[in-house]
Structure 1
């Protein structure tokens, strides 16, 4: 049975990924910082309370994965935080660093400790969650956009380094995803721009060719595909799941 590890897998997009892998018959292991959400996840999954920006904690997670599972076939480095919403001159360095620590360093650490396992078994898939902000930029969200651009470079490099060992690495760039996290973003952007939450929402939706937000399951199904044999020669790719962003700056 194939084995999938998903960071930030207890809620949102990560939970949708875990459910999608589970439906396809994979063994599932989720890591998350939210203890309550972990507790609510199915008991048939392996669960670990982990801060992805803490190298000691991440190393311990992968040590346990190796001990219990003997390796991992799919890593979904999905953990991320929104970071501050402000013009660049108002962003505090510590807020910048906190955002980069989770979004970029968290993906780096997960890949660092998954890579030796996958190289040893001569195969595996690493899927990193970026964002359309990592393709176009994102006004008022400089730390987030910078980190999400950076994970694309990280993942393309992983694809080059690990390809000779049969390991693939790809990036998914979700657009605006329905859910609690995006609601927080909408509220903060509305305040920063002097707009209503509904106007900001409409701006995001109208900025896509399909005129819609996406759902976690849309991202999850792509993660499962990229980790499957159907994508055996898909590597180093940046795939947007966003309804096709035609206007990355959501003004109304």
Structure 2
């Protein structure tokens, strides 16, 4: 499989834009050195003048939003309108706003279609980075269907519970006094984390005083017996925090929570 992907990437690098022009409409790029090509590409021109270009496959989606639709260069990053968002097959969302960077060039805007190039760096805050290079879109048409491009910082929390995937359907976060409280819950189980609201990046033991972790199973809350939380990033101006965690509950359950991670807005 790896050899096959390398072959595709090499072919993409050699053929480039010429290949795109033989497959109208199209949107494709190298994402972290993996070849991405949409099976459907479309655009929307909104009443406020913003342009949204989107390429989709069955499992993934790349969306570019620009402040205008005229030919030229549009810079990505910061809190402005211009942004790129990628949603992968796991539902993880990478965005250039506000921490990323890049540019989009509209080279042609004829006949209600758009062609151009793009490159960018996008982030899952504090957890992961996505680099897009050699991006091309070619004769992407304007369609009537609305395109969603919501890049509000997503609430992410996941872990392994006794080696089984835990992906909560409900994630909440907020400040109680001087403490950030995070909760991820499904119908029968939940993980709760708390730590000071001025916590800095670094590794911290779960002491069940200033830093706590609990696991709730069928209504019974089980306290951490040992564990640690690693804060990987914390922006106190935007109220965004990310990190990893692991802990074990005490006897008799001795439940192990491993490979935990979170990226949330509180």
- TM > 0.5: no
Given the two structures, how large is their TM-score scaled by the length of structure 1? 0.26
Given the two structures, how large is their TM-score scaled by the length of structure 2? 0.25
| Higher helix residue share | 1
Greater relative CO, 1 or 2 (CA 8 Å, sep 6+): 1
| Higher strand residue share | 2
* Structure (1 or 2) with the larger CA radius of gyration: 2
